[in-house]
Amino acid sequence: MKGIIVVTGASSGFGRLTAEALALNGHTVYAAMRETAGRNAPQVQAVKDFSAQHKADLRAIELDVGNQGSVDAAIETIIKADGHIDTVVHNAGHMVFGPAEAFTPEQFGELYDINVLSTQRVNRAVLPHMRERHQGLLVWVSSSSSAGGTPPYLSPYFAAKAGMDALAVQYARELSLWGIETSIIVPGAFTKGTNHFAHSGRPADLARVAAYEAGPYAGYGDKIQEAFGRIVPDDADVSGVARAIVEVVNAPFGKRPFRVHYDPTKDGAEVAFAVIDRVRDEMLHRVGMGDLLRPRGPASA
């Protein structure tokens, strides 16, 4: 069954690949991005060109996940045009790189806003429509860093992604009885095929960066990136994340996996999350709330 899908942060990277892959599978896909009339104007044109070339229903839409008014306006535009939204892919995010101490608290807050609060803005706009229909799917693009082996110098990003993953888990419990499903996609590290490292932010406190570079951590930034480059296989295909999302979206109601891993580096997150999710599930069974672990079908709504 083809659906109406919103993909946040779809100007590039996982978001763009996912939006294109879903459109090629026959869905109507809104590639959400900021500044469609400004810096992302070339991306908007690329979306139009892709849609025309492949005869796919891919549409760019102005949606700034950092602005509730922008989010509300975009969601209402889609509802008016198509009547409903079937799936939201929470993909918008940003990465930073450097010693944690050198980032200001304000920088931490900005990163949390982009990676976590953005999903809350979108959810508050779209969930009333999904709850009214007792139908919908939230796909959250998490990170293997939330449970797998991690290097230093990515602390603010890892902390934010862990927060988003925890939020996704709790939302799943609070939406299942509304018939709204949740799937969490867990990509590993990719040093090629996305703009994560190229566009990553840097610490604002340059004096503290200099202190680390003058001390025992001299050169560690380069060491970390070189180490990551060595463990990521040459044939690691970042588009596999998009394919995993397409498989989830195309799966029938009640059969969608709660968590899907795509990690060519095998950092251990798949093993760790298996234990973590099982412990969480068992606790809900212990307190008599096991029904929250399965989406309730329309017939029982």
Catalytic residues: 157
70: helix, strand or coil: helix
Q: Which helix (H) or strand (E) holds 61?
A: strand 58-62
- Show Cβ contacts of residue 37 under 8 Å, excluding neighbours closer than 6 positions: 62
* Structure tokens, 287: 């307190």
- Alpha helix ranges (H) inside the chain: 13-24, 41-54, 68-82, 105-112, 118-133, 155-175, 206-214, 220-231, 239-250, 269-286
* Structure tokens, 234: 């040459």
Q: How many CB atoms lie within 10 A of CB 224?
A: 15
Helix/strand/coil percent split, the chain, to 5: 50, 15, 35
CA 144 to chain CA centroid, nearest Å: 12
Q: How many CB atoms lie within 10 A of CB 281?
A: 14
> Which residue from 116, 299, 268, 104 is spatially nearest to 202, judged by alpha carbons?
104
Whether the Cβ atoms of residue 6 and residue 30 lie closer than 8 Å to each other: yes
* Structure tokens, 31: 């590639």
Query: Residues, the chain, total?
Result: 301
